[in-house]
Structure 1
């Protein structure tokens, strides 16, 4: 029987293979990745020791992480660097766009059933400018629209603005896509690890089917997309209500929880994989 270490290492390799492929294709070499991984092991070892109520000495960190004492730097024993104050108060680059998309996909005023409506420019109820201003008045609707166009989030035909119903995927900006990849995979991995190690029961479900045609895979993709929209709208509406409620009724100390709810769909052609 394999040990738990062997089992989690196998899971780690399986989950990391697409990321290693990404690193190679984008020119990141093993030494550069190894240095990042070394720092990550040290930071997480420090965090684990501190969570146990102990002082993260070089001996303790070395024992837990496997990084030799002589390779440890004093600043690393203080744990992960804290983000500057501005990082916690300023929305992320995609924050405003994501909020606009979220409102568009969840507010009945901008929906036709469960499908986001095609909007027109203007400030009248149900128009694009009114949508943007209902989220924030700090940035003008035209600037928001230009950014959404750059990210390929919307399509514009004259004054008609159509949301790309595949969701908030900033395909026009590699930096934004990389950021989204990191935070989404981080929280997905955190969910799986919490269920495995901490005995939690967080939502993590997936459907798997193989030996089907590309046409069938395409139909499943369409069905999954349709199923996601009403689920997103329901959860988003509740999230907005709870956010507004907690901002008024809860202290700052009580408002420290965060939530990420997502979905993914993957398809590959096994014959192509084998030929490669």
Structure 2
């Protein structure tokens, strides 16, 4: 790597890490704790994404790629993977249930809005929704988790109608659970970084969508209006995308044929930054 490109990379990494450092300090994570996680990420990336053709990745090659000695690599590889936890799997299932509720026409009214579902067994019930999207997790466990996250409301309509479950949110965005917010944050940022990495290597014809609209001289008094309108318009856009994108998922469209299993989507976020302290966008 030549010096000019190296300097540009250093500047880009600093700009990327600066808000991350603030987030970690706010949550009480020290540099040494971060460095331990960063080493594990380097090792996993080198092992999984940079093997030689038709050869098993060796500790020596991982050491050469990462600059981490073999003894340290062996130590870290014996530790549990930070993201392979039961809590993460449970959260993923809750997310799938809510997303299925929003996008699957079997659980929508004539306007495409999520139906209020009967809790008990039967077509178009909450139990059926969990069976389709929650894997082998008990219905009660999913319901309790969504109640805890304030994502659903349960009402009792008497013995004849039974209990019914209504979705209170427009998507799986927990309002109170910090652990789940952190999981969603990590997924969103990782998705964006993978797109950026792809676009750095790809030519224009193969580049993935990566667009930003921003202005740098906005009065503080205008921000509330910008936030409100952004939220309204983004919700409309995402609902339209959800309707057509779900047709390409075999979990929703059982008639769809094809090979492999991929995850694809479009992420949207709002940002604002004070530039009064001399910070640069």
- Measured against the shorter chain, the TM-score band is 0.7 to 0.9
Question: Are residues 115 and 182 of structure 1, via their aligned partners in 2, closer, same or farther at CA, if it must alter by over 3 Å?
Answer: same
| Residues 175-254 of structure 1: pairs in structure 2 closer than 5 A | 175-199=179-203, 200-209=206-215, 211=218, 212-240=222-250, 244=254
Q: Which has the higher contact order (CA 8 A, sep 6+)?
A: 1
Gaps of 5+ in 1: none
Give the Å deviation of 1:241: 5.5
- Whether contact under 8 Å (2:101, 2:129) holds in the other structure is yes
- Whether contact under 8 Å (1:114, 1:229) holds in the other structure is no
Gaps of 5+ in 2: 157-162
Alignment equivalent of 1:143, drawn from 125, 141, 144: 141
Measured in 2, the distance between the counterparts of 1:230 and 1:61 equals 44
Aligned-residue CA RMSD in angstroms? 3.9
Question: Are residues 52 and 15 of structure 1, via their aligned partners in 2, closer, same or farther at CA, if it must alter by over 3 Å?
Answer: farther
Measured in 1, the distance between the counterparts of 2:263 and 2:240 equals 18
Which secondary structure does the structure 2 equivalent of 1:103 belong to? helix
Compute the TM-score of the two structures, normalised by the length of structure 2: 0.73
41-50 or 175-184: which moved more? 41-50
Give the Å deviation of 1:25: 0.8
Which secondary structure does the structure 1 equivalent of 2:165 belong to? strand
- Whether contact under 8 Å (2:155, 2:165) holds in the other structure is yes
Partner of 2:35: 34
Give the Å deviation of 1:172: 4.0
Measured in 2, the distance between the counterparts of 1:241 and 1:38 equals 36
Measured in 2, the distance between the counterparts of 1:213 and 1:242 equals 38
Compute the TM-score of the two structures, normalised by the length of structure 1: 0.74
Measured in 1, the distance between the counterparts of 2:213 and 2:112 equals 23
Q: Could you say which structure has the higher helix fraction?
A: 1
Measured in 1, the distance between the counterparts of 2:253 and 2:107 equals 20
- Whether contact under 8 Å (2:107, 2:114) holds in the other structure is yes
Give the Å deviation of 1:41: 3.3
